[in-house]
A and B are shown apart, each in its own frame.
Chain A
């Protein structure tokens, strides 16, 4: 992948990632039917839809996390900066460094707070201690958790509250300087106050990162995203500016869903 590392160059690009006619299978079950959409740089895209509609599956296609499922199969095209991420020559490890992920349940490693954030740097070969130190602090600040943990970086991460753990996981994802951050219902396991913090964080992060977030919470989608995509039964029903989707949806199904008539 000879992709320019310069963020400034990328922001000129029309879109950061794209999906073209994507089908996805779990064994014989077809979970995604011809999904086509683009993700613009420095924007938040929300994927909404009822449980089992394929939105998480789609999200996990974007950093090839679904590769871990033995019987899964992908057809169609997904690109990052115009390059096919499923091409044989692509190093999936490098792809995942560029397309980071925050999971539904906070999943810090059973290590210290510092080690959690530094982990991504270490596995990517960074040995310079001062650099690691600096980047850990920077990431924790970016994730708005620095003030809460700066005096106990060597304590275990499992001693943090759920909301703190999730912000730590975001810091951990940011430490390796991804270009895209995928978030799979990052606030669904959190209380309203922690959720609010995460949402504020997303607002700040979109200055620098392309963010794609799966959420069950439609108010959340309306609050944090620029673009919203509605999935139903494995199909992308409608995608558009968040304001438009929530006020003047074009499709009946979208309207039914966002007005709470089903789902």
Chain B
């Protein structure tokens, strides 16, 4: 194995002397006999191979993630690129949704996601601040945490049914943007609380101590020091949570989205079309499922672009805020 370690001595710019010194060091490094009893040369070789195998596995696992995303996008673009036209993005569906565009769905999904942010962000951030900054650890906090964790595990269709029962029926909102946004917001709360808590915990305690030591109140400390430092993390988590919710079908199919409505919403109590539900409708319940395949893929492209766009905004926003903190 020594040959691996010896550098080719052609093209040397040093004197002969330095080269020999280098060589000598190199040779003593490459000796494989161990100073410990019972350790064979084979062991040294084996552990290097082991390391390479595991590195390869980890690399492969990481690569699968990237490849999966690429395959999904490739698949949709190949099948749906023909559908993406200016008309597709700016017109309502026509002729029983076999022609025309998806403008109402884009507007609807935007309205629902935006509404969900407005609902979930203040409540989520406030809860996280309470849990990490104010609440003394104890039974109550543990119970609340348990609740939040379980909320994260509730299937999205259950959120849909809850929204139907509570917002649509009991609160009398009807199938509307308001009811849909509240349902989506409730669904993304655990994610927002979780990421906000992480962001708050990552703010060093020394900032808090410095602020309190100057005669600031706890709230002043949170508002002026802790929150600004945690903001990048909070916003990323929030937008990732909402972009996840934006692609959900189940929570909105009973609460905010309808099969078909060519009108654009004028109030938060209007019902809307939404991208994910539209895909579901075209692919399972439409009048001409095969004929509208390219429309389904086209809609999916728009949805994915929207979600990726939101993530991109989150990333840019975060890096801007981080820069300002440095």
Contacts and interface: CB of A to CB of B under 8 A. Distances in A.
Given A70-B137, A110-B326, A158-B326, A93 B215 contact: yes
A146 interface: no
A154 interface: no
Contacts of A123: 211, 214-217, 220, 224
Contacts of A100: 213-214
User: B215, B220, B224: which has the most chain A beta carbons within 10 Å?
Assistant: B215
Nearest to B205: A68
B68 interface: no
Interface in A67-98: 68, 70, 93-94, 96-98
Given A70-B137, A103-B210, A158-B326, A109 B225 contact: yes
A105 interface: yes
B50 interface: no
Given A120-B216, A156-B326, A68 B210 contact: no
A68 B216 contact: no
A65 B212 contact: yes
Contacts of B215: 93-94, 96-98, 120, 123-124, 176
A65 B136 CA distance: 16
Interface in B190-225: 204, 206-217, 220, 224-225
Contacts, number: 73
A230 interface: no
Contact of A173 (B212, B214, B216): B214
B234 to A, nearest CB: 15
Interface string B287-326: 0000000000000000000000000000000000000011
A101 interface: yes
Interface in A103-128: 103, 105, 107-110, 119-120, 122-124
Contact of B206 (A63, A96, A105, A122): A105
Given A65-B209, A103-B209, A123-B211, A110 B229 contact: yes
A120 B325 CA distance: 19
A156 B136 CA distance: 34
Interface in A10-41: none
A172 interface: yes
Interface string A51-71: 000000000000101001010
Please classify how large the interface on chain A is, using the bins under 10, 10 to 19, 20 to 34, 35 or more: 20 to 34
A107 B225 CA distance: 12
B81 to A, nearest CB: 45
Nearest to B213: A101
Interface in A153-182: 156, 158, 169, 172-173, 176
Nearest to B137: A70
Task: Say what secondary structure dominates the interface of chain B.
Answer: helix
B219 to A, nearest CB: 10
Contacts of A96: 212-215
Contacts of B214: 96-97, 100, 119-120, 123-124, 172-173, 176
Nearest to B225: A109
Contacts of B208: 68
B206 A103 contact: yes
Contacts of B204: 107
A169 B217 contact: no
A105 B216 CA distance: 20
Nearest to A94: B215
A110 to B, nearest CB: 4
B152 to A, nearest CB: 27
Interface string B253-268: 0000000000000000
Given A119-B224, A123-B220, A109 B210 contact: yes
Nearest to B229: A110
A57 to B, nearest CB: 14
Contacts of B217: 93, 123
Nearest to A124: B215
Given A107-B206, A119-B224, A123-B224, A70 B136 contact: yes
Closest 6 CB pairs of A and B: A97-B215, A120-B214, A107-B206, A123-B216, A101-B213, A110-B325
15 contacts: A65-B213, A93-B215, A97-B215, A100-B214, A101-B210, A105-B206, A119-B214, A120-B215, A123-B215, A124-B216, A156-B325, A172-B210, A173-B213, A173-B214, A176-B214
Given A110-B228, A123-B215, 15 more contacts: A93-B216, A93-B217, A96-B215, A97-B215, A101-B213, A107-B204, A107-B209, A109-B207, A109-B211, A109-B225, A120-B216, A123-B214, A123-B224, A124-B216, A156-B325
Interface of B: 136-137, 204, 206-217, 220, 224-225, 228-229, 325-326
Interface of A: 63, 65, 68, 70, 93-94, 96-98, 100-101, 103, 105, 107-110, 119-120, 122-124, 156, 158, 169, 172-173, 176
